[in-house]
């Protein structure tokens, strides 16, 4: 899956930098670069934009004002030289907030979070008719209903699937990445490189922890923004 990207910034050097970074990431496609919000409006009418790299402090209209004016809001990564706007940016469910000049490693981390979030959203909107999957265990193929899954634990060479009515997890040689692509996005979300949880089984979410009954799992910073965005939709 490729993400259609748009850069909005009033500084030419910043546009050049973001364009160069985007061209280095295989799953990003640059739809357009605009020197300000107003020239960007026709782009939204012509194309479906997945991700916007948006400067905040610009003449005439700020990036935050521009984002609030859009009826259909894309995923946004704010790119700015002013860190005092960070709180307001995150209140608008921004994927990330990058300070200029942006290091390439921070750019990669931000777009990785964006890719995870947008993939989840698109997967969520895909209609599914089944409510189960078959997995290979050591000596058999086992049917597992989605509603029975509490969480999945990825280990080095295999995955443990923890079920609500069984103390013993089901073990399979399939990777956690495999299950991330197979499980319905409206019910399951990755919270850590080693864990996927069923949203229906989540009881409490703290800053770095997710509780599922008596089970306590870590939630890494990389996936926290996505999790909070999804929970925010249900508040």
CA distances from 221 to 68, 95, 162 (A): 26, 12, 23
The string of pLDDT tens digits covering residues 15-68 is 999 999 999 999 999 999 999 999 999 999 888 999 999 998 888 888 888 888
Class of the CATH-defined domain 3-124: alpha beta
CA distances from 176 to 65, 108, 164, 192, 196 (A): 40, 22, 19, 11, 8
What is residue 24's predicted lDDT score, i.e. its pLDDT? 94
The string of pLDDT tens digits covering residues 200-209 is 999 999 888 9
Give the DSSP H or E segment for 3: strand 3-8
How far is CA 134 from its chain centroid? 26
Name the more confident of 144 and 230.
Answer: 144
pLDDT band at residue 128 under the 50/70/90 scheme: low
CA distances from 27 to 114, 116, 146 (A): 11, 12, 29
Overall size of the chain counted in residues: 235
**Region of residue 228 (left: phi > 0; alpha: psi -120 to 50; beta: else):** alpha
What are the domain boundaries of the chain? 3-124, 132-233
CATH code linked to domain 132-233: 2.40.50.1020
């Amino acid at each position: 899956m490729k993400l259609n990207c748009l850069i909005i910034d009033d500084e030419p050097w910043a546009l050049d930098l973001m364009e160069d970074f985007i061209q280095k990431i295989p799953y990003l496609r640059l739809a357009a670069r605009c020197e300000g919000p107003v020239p960007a409006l026709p782009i939204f009418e012509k194309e479906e934009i997945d991700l916007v790299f948006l400067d905040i402090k610009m003449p005439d209209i700020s990036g935050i004002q521009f984002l609030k004016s859009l009826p259909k809001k894309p995923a946004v990564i704010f790119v700015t030289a002013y860190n005092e706007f960070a709180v307001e940016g995150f209140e608008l469910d921004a994927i990330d907030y990058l300070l200029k000049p942006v290091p390439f490693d921070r750019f990669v981390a931000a777009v990785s979070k964006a890719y995870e979030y947008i993939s989840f959203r698109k997967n969520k909107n895909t209609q599914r008719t089944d409510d189960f999957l078959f997995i290979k265990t050591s000596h058999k193929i086992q049917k597992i209903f989605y509603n029975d899954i509490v969480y999945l634990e990825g280990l080095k060479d295999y995955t443990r699937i923890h079920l609500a009515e069984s103390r013993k997890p089901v073990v399979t040689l399939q990777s956690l990445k495999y299950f991330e692509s197979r499980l319905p996005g409206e019910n399951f979300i990755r919270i850590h490189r080693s864990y996927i949880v069923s949203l229906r089984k989540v009881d409490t979410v703290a800053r770095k922890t997710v509780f599922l009954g008596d089970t306590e799992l870590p939630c890494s910073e990389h996936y926290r923004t996505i999790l909070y965005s999804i929970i925010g939709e249900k508040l």
